[in-house]
Amino acid sequence: TSLLLMAGIMVTVGLCRRLTRRRLRSHQRLYTFFLEMFSTFQICTCTNELCLLGNVEPKPHTALTLTYGFTVLHGLTLTGSTCNPCGTLQPMWGGGISVKMGGLKIAAQFVAAVLARVFMHFIWSLEMSEPHLGALSQGCSDPMQTTEMQAFCIELLFSVVFQLIVLQVERVNPKYKVHLIALLITMLVYAGGNLTGAIFNPALAFSLHPNCFYDRFLSYALVYWIAPSLGKFLILHVF
């Protein structure tokens, strides 16, 4: 049921992206906003569902296999979208896009994060599959299973590693590049998923753990917003 749900979301988002390209291409700001919003919505909804499948046996093989597979699918279906506020900082810093357009993209990403959480809450309330039972009563699932300073350093390190590898594989054939990125993300999730969740995406972190931001905003903003953004700026400064 979960796999069918995620497949349905990806098909729907694909249709919405195609419709956006046809109808709004002449309206640059609306085109950019909706294209980024739909793409980020797909990643956030699918990742929310994948988090429920983390305890499916055999652990952690099932979760890691699904992470790799769906990361490849996201890479193949969401070309042209960053879906990550940190990824939007690079063209803003380099002058590739204006600050206003970059801010529009980041706003679209956070709007999509909120919409994805609301949508998944509705889906989970229907209790269509066993993992959905009790999903709404979890509250803050507290992905930080270590100290705040260690969590900050882990997310900072993962962000630096991820952005550095992405820069190194820019010239790789796209059909191989998507697998390399998916493998990298899966390895990072395996290495630090049990400590911080290995998210390194501010919008995705807010979609996955909004209750944690409400309860401990400063701590979670430091770890899941400032740390990956700082990692991005370190890479941009070095390169």
> Domain ranges in the chain?
1-238
Give pLDDT tens digits for 209-224. Answer: 988 888 889 999 999 9
Give pLDDT tens digits for 152-171. Answer: 999 999 999 998 998 888 88
- Greater model confidence, 237 or 222: 222
Give pLDDT tens digits for 182-215. Answer: 999 999 999 988 899 889 899 999 999 988 888 8
- The mean pLDDT value of the chain amounts to 90
Confidence of residue 174 (pLDDT cuts 50, 70, 90): confident
Q: What pLDDT is recorded for position 239? A: 67
Predicted structure pTM score: 0.93
Class of CATH domain 1-238: mainly alpha
- Greater model confidence, 194 or 77: 77
Q: What pLDDT is recorded for position 202? A: 94
Confidence of residue 225 (pLDDT cuts 50, 70, 90): very high
**Torsion angle of C-alpha atoms 200, 201, 205, 208, degrees rounded to 10:** -110
